[in-house]
Amino acid sequence: MFHQDEISFTDAKKNVNKQGLHILHDIVSAFQKGVFDDPSQSALYCNMLACICEGKIEGKMDEESMDVFWSLTPAYQEQLDSLKEALASKNVVAGPW
Using one digit for the tens of pLDDT, what is the confidence trace for 20-35? 999 999 999 999 999 9
8 Å CB contact between 11 and 55:
yes
pLDDT > 60? residue 10? yes
CA 3, CA 58: separation in Å to the nearest integer? Answer: 20
Segments forming the whole domain that contains residue 55 = 9-86
> pTM of the predicted model, to two decimals?
0.81
- The residue-averaged pLDDT of 60-85 equals 92
- Flag whether 91 is in a domain: no
Asked, as a colleague might, if the bond just before 39 is cis with ω within 30 of 0, I would say no
For the chain, the domain total comes to 1
Within a domain: 55: yes
Q: How far is 19 from 27, CA to CA, in rounded Å?
A: 12
Say if 2 falls within a structural domain: no
